[in-house]
Structure 1
């Protein structure tokens, strides 16, 4: 078993110095003679002393820790967003601690309380699918803990946010399918009341209308957007008297499920059927055929969210909350071509 490191009290005892002198020497305080500083640091190494950076930061009124709450870290979007957050945070000298809500409101509330109790300097959060009331977020604001909401924006609160232009991403995807010659384009969305999915639905509808195609409510299916949901949605759609010839899914995973079901029917993708998903999950370039997707620019979202949070920490709350919007990009692969 590794021995526990020494404390400044141990160093002070060995050298017969005051603990305050040891502390100043370890912090390279010029009021302490150079020979004493060198002796203290050499003794610290010999005694396996390790500085507690968090405790030192707290003494200065800062923990140098940022808290991040995401629904699921195993989703490519959130993993890449956290990567972007960490890159900015580490360059600024901050540690990052990560919590997952697993799409449950109670977990989100618990994580917020835990992070505030840990005295983090700020929090970045993407809301769970269950989050429809915001008292727990108002509590963070009231305690003057800097807070940034990213990806799943909250229109009901005046707080700093970073998101992509979900409307534009959906519009571009639907427009691409139309330009490829597809006429009856279905849409798969989330059953929960989440703002970003509303924006994606609006983008889909507007693209149809702008190209003279009526919106058919039968072609819009709401579910939980998992793999099995994509399969079930495709069954429902293909059983219609006038089935679709394309699908724009707001989930890459559900789009993969749809592709699986179409394959069992012997329907050719692309050609007979066009398919686009949302979010550049690693598997999307490996499916047969490779899946066209809307790339959410997740790394850039994480970068922007962390930069906005550090600005809020350094300068205080902005009088007018800022909403940074990043435009996603359409990645065209074989599944949507004709």
Structure 2
């Protein structure tokens, strides 16, 4: 009897409406001494609350789903061929040489190889899959991969980030900023770019930090065309070549034999130029001032007392 009296009490009915509305509604309609309009209002309010709560929860779930990142579609890699990549790098100014197709050398030895193009600055390898290209990169720290492409940097290692930017862009980039290891390296690069004469360039090169000389040589000097001037030290000692002293100090008419045996301190300021034709020597003599256009082949060294060597030389004046 006590339980029946409790169910009939107004406070208990209201409590149940809040705690467990199905029971509360039942007790309200069966025992509450309320008028019918009040009961209807309470019932409608509870039903609307349920409907609105369910709708709001659905909207929340929908928003969560819509804000989740959509699964990216796999980017089409059909553009990533060795030929396209080499073209992009060349048009971006990162390579200058023409490539040689060396695919045959890799077929059968390298899994998944499609095409290999080799230039003086880079080797570009096209693989069947991205995983194969990544696996190849672990072999060398002067290489990079993107998608199914592997690029081995023969020269220009300091510009590795720029190579990657071109690959990511999937097109040539003409606004790349050149990276320099130091202000000294930047000076050498700018002198080369501005076609500096021999003496300012080699002095800047000799002033480089020791650990930057090889990289600077590889990235900015070797195989580049230069126009250098100096004094002819010897026309006859080395066949189709001219021995030229490029400094303004320390030289007193010594020939190549004397310089290479007794005055080795002069060697770092000597550049020997192999001419395209020995006939270009005609009309010249030791002691003459001369200007040469040629390609840099080997570098001098102040500590080791080595001279410079140029190839494919032409006498300008």
Asked whether the two chains share a fold, i.e. TM above 0.5, the reply is: no
Larger Rg: 2
| TM-score, normalised relative to structure 2 | 0.25
Taking structure 1 as the reference length, the TM-score comes to 0.24
